[in-house]
Structure formats: C-alpha cells, structure tokens
Structure 1
Amino acid sequence: MTFTGVSQWFTRLLCKNDSKKYPCFSMILSLSSSSSSLSSAIELNSTMKKLIGSRQYKQVLGLFDRQFPMCTDVTFTLALKTCGKLEDHKCGVRIHQQLSLKSLQDPFLQTLLIHFYMHCHDVDQAQKIFSTIKEKTVYMYGAMFKGYISNNTPEKFIDLFEKISVEIDEVIITILFNACAKLCDSQAIKIGKDTLNRLPISFLQNQKLVDCLCRLDMFDEAQTVIDDYEKSNSPSLVMYTAMLSGARNYHHVSLSQKLYDRMRSLFLNQHSDLISAAILLSNTYASQ
C-alpha cells in the first residue's frame, strides 16, 4: 500500500469512528495532509488556521518551516501566534529574525511581536521593539500596557501612560485603573482622578469603571458614576456588588451597610445575589 493509500485508509477509519478515540491516527493524518504540496499561500494559511483551531500547534510550526518559501505576512502572523500559545520563546525569536525589513515595518506585526514577547515574559525585548517604532498606534500601547500588567509591573504602565501620544480608548482606560488599583500610591490615585475628569461620557456609564474606582478608594466618584448611570438605565447589580466588595476591602462598615440595604430594595427578587451580598457585608463587620 502506498503512502497515499495509507492516508486514505486512515481517513475512512476516522470517518467511521470518533477521531478523539484515535488521537495518534488524527495526528498522522494531519501530518500527511500538511506535508503534501500546497499550491498557494492562501491554501497554506487556511491549513495553518485549521491546525490552530484543532490545537495542533507543533504541526502548525512544522508546516511553516516546510513551506517557508511561500510564506506571507499572514503566515508569519499565524506562526507567531502559535509560538505565543506554546510560550515557545526560542521559536518565536527565530521567526522574528526571519521577517523581512518591510514586514518589520508593518504595524500589525509590530504589535504582534510586542504581544509575543510580553507573553513570554521578555519585557526588555518588547520595550526595545516599541521604542524603535516611530508612529505608535493605540494597539501598540495596549499591547505594552497589557504586558506590563501581566508581568506584574504596573509602575512601568503608569510611567508609559504619562508619555502616551495617541488618543486612549476604553480598553486602555480600564487597564489604567487596574494598574492604579494595584499600585494604589499617591501618584496612581492622582492619575486615576485626573483621568476620570477627562473621560468621555460614554465611558462614565461603563460598569467596570465602578470596580476600578472602588479599588482606588474613590467611593464618592464611584457613587457619582452609579447616579449618572441610573439616569438613563435600570440599576445595575454588577455596579452595586463591585462597590460593596470595594467597601469590604477598605473596611467601610457604614458604607457597606448602606449599600446592602439599597441592594435589598432594588433587587428584591434576586435571592442568590443578595445572599452573596450578605456574605460580603458580614465579612466587612468581621474585619473590624
């Protein structure tokens, strides 16, 4: 039986049976189909996407290496994303080094490289790439900010945020408040308050904002957000729960009791949520 015949036999077997029962057969089949000559970069990228979808990451990288001559920027993107999922720093560096000078100027690939190195905890390399980019986008800043938070360096986030040269979006604002909450020093609180005064009206109705403010001990500001939100929306259990949780963390007993009483009047029929709120309240009293 030829190699093609073996492949067809495996295909018929997997069609008749659940492929999950035969993981080794499934892997062999994918390898054999991937190894065959692909006629175009579009077909190559499509095959890689399918392998990523089935979490066959090593096969993706093997296919990338075998079909390298026909690789496009899309192919490099898929390969780098796969390295990130595997946290394969060495392979990602190799792929980075194979990028052409033109590709290295592509904003999407630049952002992806920052994501990759941050994901692999190589903060220095991510910073190096970011520093060489002349026209920085909000997505590049977002990649840096997320990377600083995931690598537990919120102070670097704050430093970069003060130098930001593009208009910030809601994602970055949320990350900012999370970073401020982690630091919770005088500088972080000042930045949080200054940013709050510059926020667009649309974001002032973002439920996540209440949680961020409460973690900064900015309960008056959080209450103002809730009041403004309720002018055009029904009361939000998420907002009140976030504020009650924050009050627990800062041991604000009277505020916790006030919030719980308010929740009981607003969400009378949501019994399980009120039980959780009662537990938060009792924990606040117990912390005294």
Structure 2
Amino acid sequence: TLFNACAKLCNDRAMKIGKELLAKMPENYRNNKITSTSAIDMLMKFGDVENAERIFRSIKAKDIIAYGAMVKGYVGNETFEKALDLFEKVDIELDNVTYTIVFNACAKLCNDRAMKIGKKLLAKMPENYRINNITSTSAIDMLMKFGDVESAERIFRSIKTKNIITYGAMVKGYAGNETFEKALDLFEKIDIELDRVTYTIVFNACAKLCNDRAMKIGKELLAKMPENYRINNITSTSAIDMLMKFGDVESAERIFRSIKIKNIITYGAMVKGN
C-alpha cells in the first residue's frame, strides 16, 4: 500500500502524502485491519505516536498484527514503558514477531518490570518459536542485558542451526557482561562467515582483554578482514581502538590513513589512543 511506501521513505514528502491520504481515507477502509495497521506503522515511523494510537483505538476487532505494530512503534519511538503497558493488555495468542518485539523492548528498558515481563514471557514461549533464530536471538540479547548469562547460554545451545547474528548476540553479550575470555572462546568456535558487526564486537572484546591471546586473535582477525569491511567507519574505528590498546600505534595509523571519510569518532579513537 501507499502507507507502506510512505513509511519506508519517511521523508517530508512521504509524511505529507501519507497524512493527506490518511485524512481522506473512507470510513469503510478504516475498518480494514490490514489498511489500518499499515497506517499505524506509517505514523509510528513518522514519530506521530498520538495519531497512531487514535487509529489503534478505532479498530474494533484488534488482531495480533495490530498489537504488534503498536508495540513495535512504541519501541521504535523509544517509549518502552508504553510498549510494555500495551503488551500486558494483549489477550490473544502472540505470534513470534510479537515475542521478538517485546523481548527487544525489555532489553532496552532493562528495569525490574522489564526483567519480570521478559522472563515470564520467555518461560511460556511455545517450543516451535524457540527454533526461530530471530526470536531466540532477541531473547538471548534480552537475557544478556539482564546479566543472566546462564539462561542466554541455555537458549544458545538449544538453537540447532546457528547463524552469525546468533553468534554475534552471544559474543556481544559476553563482552557486555565483561566475560571477555568467554567471548573469545565462542568466537574461536565460529565456523561460518563473519559479518561486519561480529568483527566490531570481537575487536572490542580484544581491546578490553588486551592480553597475549587477545592480541593474537585480534591481529589475525584484522589481517583477514575483507576489504569492504575496512571502509566501514565503525569497524575500522574499533580496530584502531584495539590496536592502540595493544600499543601498535603504527598499524592503527595505517588503518586511520586508509579511511577515506573520517568522522569525529574515528579522530577520537586516534587522539585517545595517542
């Protein structure tokens, strides 16, 4: 629908067209859940939470997709408490998307209420949703944010076909919980192609640990990093930070010089390193 296109584009023109279209939408179309849900999604993308709420309230028979759009919208607008408020009102069966969204909200909020809701939700999650990598990975991320490394490990072990995002969530979680050796232990078991995010996470872990093992792993990883990842400022900056922590100023300078478009974070890493 046009609402979806406007939501994706999300610029001034899209906002103008989307809101004008919504204003003149016939009443009988508003009763259509698919159309209304796409309008909610669009408005949430525009940051217009109030109008999204108005449409949501007008939907007589709400389904899990409508609830999901609202919860996701609240999360996207960083109104995490509202996301949990609405989630607690959901009285219909959840789908795996809603589980994922709520886990993400709980991870972001990370207070007592979020921990209670997140863990309770995880406990009652159907078995068939646990084999979904996206849902399980969001649960891992949430548990790691809660500091519940053991439960995160349990879920990770239960995933039969792990992908790089799942591995990344675990390595990042270990690093976030300052169990850097565990982060490197797991990294060394990865037998699939790394993504840019994983390079960044491992460089950060090596920088924090900064012992002989970390130096060896970090430098080997850097040596085999694909060229297209080197032009990414975030990844390159984490490599610079790592090398500076290792005292390898020369290699850090080499990477710094190779970055075509430097930002303030890149400059900061070099200045801080020096």
Q: Provide TM-score, normalisation by structure 2.
A: 0.68
Provide the residue aligned with 2:184 in structure 1.
Answer: 193
Which amino acid is the alignment partner of residue 63 of structure 2?
A: T
- Structure-1 separation of matches of 2:35 and 2:195: 46
- Structure-2 separation of matches of 1:243 and 1:211: 6
Deviation sequence 1:208-229 (CA, Å, 0-9, x none): 2552342332121011122334
1:46-195 to structure 2, matched below 5 A, reads 46-69=38-61, 71-84=62-75, 85=77, 87=79, 89=81, 92-100=84-92, 103-104=93-94, 106-121=95-110, 122-135=114-127, 136=130, 137-148=132-143, 153=146, 155-156=147-148, 158-164=149-155, 165-166=158-159, 167-184=161-178, 188-195=179-186
Does the CA-based 8 Å contact 1:214-1:247 persist in structure 2? no
- Structure-1 separation of matches of 2:266 and 2:33: 55
SS at match of 2:191: coil
Report the CA distance shift for 1:226/1:62 in structure 2 as closer, same or farther (over 3 A): same
Does the CA-based 8 Å contact 1:247-1:256 persist in structure 2? yes
SS at match of 1:203: coil
Deviation sequence 1:136-157 (CA, Å, 0-9, x none): 13222322333356xx54x32x
| Structure 1 residue 175, shift from structure 2 partner | 3.0
SS at match of 1:99: coil
Does the CA-based 8 Å contact 2:237-2:266 persist in structure 1? yes
| Structure 1 residue 131, shift from structure 2 partner | 1.4
| Structure 1 residue 91, shift from structure 2 partner | 6.5
1:170-249 to structure 2, matched below 5 A, reads 170-184=164-178, 188-203=179-194, 207-215=199-207, 216-217=209-210, 218-229=214-225, 233=227, 236=230, 241-248=237-244
| Structure 1 residue 88, shift from structure 2 partner | 5.7
- Structure-2 separation of matches of 1:98 and 1:242: 42
Provide the residue aligned with 1:11 in structure 2.
Answer: none
- Which stretch shows the higher mean deviation, 128-137 or 188-197? 188-197
Q: Provide TM-score, normalisation by structure 1.
A: 0.65
Does the CA-based 8 Å contact 1:260-1:277 persist in structure 2? no
Q: Structure 2: which 5+ residue stretches go unaligned?
A: 1-11
| Structure 1 residue 44, shift from structure 2 partner | 2.0
1:267-282 to structure 2, matched below 5 A, reads 267=258
- Percent of counterpart pairs with the same letter? 10
Deviation sequence 1:183-226 (CA, Å, 0-9, x none): 33xxx233223212210241288642552342332121011122
- Structure-1 separation of matches of 2:108 and 2:270: 38
Does the CA-based 8 Å contact 2:87-2:102 persist in structure 1? no
| RMSD of aligned alpha carbons | 4.0
Does the CA-based 8 Å contact 1:180-1:189 persist in structure 2? yes
| Structure 1 residue 107, shift from structure 2 partner | 1.9
Provide the residue aligned with 2:249 in structure 1.
Answer: 256
SS at match of 1:97: coil
Q: Structure 1: which 5+ residue stretches go unaligned?
A: 1-18
Report the CA distance shift for 1:81/1:34 in structure 2 as closer, same or farther (over 3 A): farther
